[in-house]
Amino acid sequence: MNLRIASQIARTHLLAKKRQTLVAMLGVTFGIAMFITMISFMQGVNQFLEDSALDASPHVRMYNEVNTQRPSLIDALRPGGFNVTYHQKPKNELARIKNGLTIADRIEREPNVLGVSPQVATQAFYNNGPIQLSGTISGVNIERENRLYNLEKRLKSGSVNALRSNPDGLIMGTTLAGKLNVATGDKVTITTPTGSTRVLRVVGTFGFGIGTIDNTKSYANLPTVQELLGKDPSYITDIHLKMSDPLLAIPFGKVLQAQYGYHTEDWATANTAILAGEKIRNMLTYVVSITLLVVAGFGIYNIMNMTVMNKIKDIAILKATGFEGHDIVAIFLLQAVFIGFSGGLLGLGIGFGLSYLLSITPFDAGGFISIKTFPVIFEPKYYVNGLLFGVITTVLAGYFPARKASHIDPVAILRG
C-alpha cells in the first residue's frame, strides 16, 4: 500500500474542508476535555475525603479492650450446673498494655512500618472558668506522633516544639479551643475521670478537618498524662502505627493481635462507613466517565460517518481510477487519526485548563474542612487514558464507515 499518496489525499481532504475538520476535532476535544475535568475533580474529591479520614486515623491501633464480663466462680467450679449469680462484682481491669513501650519499639523494627506512637489516652474534662467540656486527652511522644500524623502541617497556631519544651503544654483541637474561648498561651484546667486535676497551658491548636477530632481531642506530653492518671512511666494504653502501604496494615494488624494478645483495629474496620462511601463514589465516577466517553464516542462516530459519506463520490472516482479498497480505508483512517490525535491533544489542554481553574477556585467549606479550593488531582494516567480513548474511538469510528465505503460499487455511485 502506498501510504504517501494516501496521506497526501487525506491531507488535501482535511485542508479543503477546514471548518468540517475543525468541527470534527472539536467533537473529540469536548468529549476528552469533559472526561479529564470530570475524572480529575471526582477523583480529587475522593482522594481528599479518603486522605482527610485516613490521615487522622492510624493504620493499626493496638489497645487493651476492657471487658469486665467473666464467668462467675461457681460457673468455673460447676460448669453445666444450674447456677444463678446476682450482681457479680466487676473485676478491676486496667486499660494498660503491659510492656507497651517495649512492644512499640519491637513493632517499629518490623519491615514496612513507618512509625509507631505509644500513647496514653483518657477521657477528660476541660475547664475554663465556668465552662466545662468533655473530651479526650492523649499523652504522646510528640515527635513520634508528628511522624505519624504530620501534626506540624495541621497546626493552626503555636508549634510542635513548644510542647516538647513545656511539660505542662497542651495542643488542643481548634474547635474545642474555640468553644472554650482559649487561644495559644491561655491556661486550661484538666480533670480526669479519676478525679485528679491539673492546669495546662495551650501551646498550639490543630485542625484535622474532622469534627469528632477537632471538637474533642488534645495532645499533651506522655509523662504529664501518666502523672495525671497517677500511673507509672511504663503505663501505655494505645499503640498507633502507620505502614508504607495501608493495605499491608490489614493482615499485619491480625499478626500483631496473635503475637501480643492485645486487640488490634485496622483503618479499614475503623472507617467502614467511609470506605463504603468511597466505593460508591468510585462507582459513580466510573458510571459518569463511561457515560461521557460513550456519548463522546457516538458524537465522534457520527462526525466520521458524515465525513466519509460526504466523500462517497470521490471514493467511487478513486476506485474507478484504480485505487483499491485498502487505499480508501487508509485515506480515511489517516484522517481519523489526525482528527482523533489533534482533537484529543486539544482536549487534554482544555481539560487541564478547566481542572486547573477548578483547583484554584476558592471554596468556602467552613472551619471544619481544611481546604480553601476545590480538590482536584492531576494524574498523568487520566491524560494518557483520555488521549488513548480519543484516538482509538476516532479510528474505530472512522474505520467502519471507511470499510463500508471501500466495498461500494463505483458504478452505483457514478451512474448517479
Q: Environment class of residue 191 by beta-carbon count within 10 Å: exposed (0-12), middle (13-18) or buried (19+)? A: middle
Nearer to other proteins by C-beta: 1 or 283? 1
Provide the binding-site residues for other proteins, judged by CB under 8 A. 2, 4-5, 8-9, 12-13, 15-17, 313-314, 316-327, 409-411, 414-416
3-state DSSP call for residue 38? helix
Shortest Cβ 390–other proteins spacing (Å): 26
Shortest Cβ 401–other proteins spacing (Å): 18
Q: Beta strands 131-140 and 217-221: pairing type?
A: parallel
Integer CA distances (angstroms), 312 to 252, 330, 408, in order:
66, 15, 9
Angle ∠(113,115,117) on CA atoms, nearest 5: 130
Backbone angles phi, psi at 120, to 5 degrees: -115, 120
3-state DSSP call for residue 112? coil
Nearer to other proteins by C-beta: 13 or 154? 13
Backbone angles phi, psi at 170, to 5 degrees: -150, 130
Nearer to other proteins by C-beta: 17 or 198? 17
CA pair distance 94, 253, nearest whole angstrom:
22
Shortest Cβ 25–other proteins spacing (Å): 18
Shortest Cβ 416–other proteins spacing (Å): 7
Nearer to other proteins by C-beta: 214 or 327? 327
Shortest Cβ 323–other proteins spacing (Å): 6
Shortest Cβ 402–other proteins spacing (Å): 15
Helix or strand (DSSP H, E) at 206: strand 197-206
Nearer to other proteins by C-beta: 16 or 84? 16
Nearer to other proteins by C-beta: 20 or 128? 20
Beta-strand (E) ranges in 244-296?
Answer: 263-266
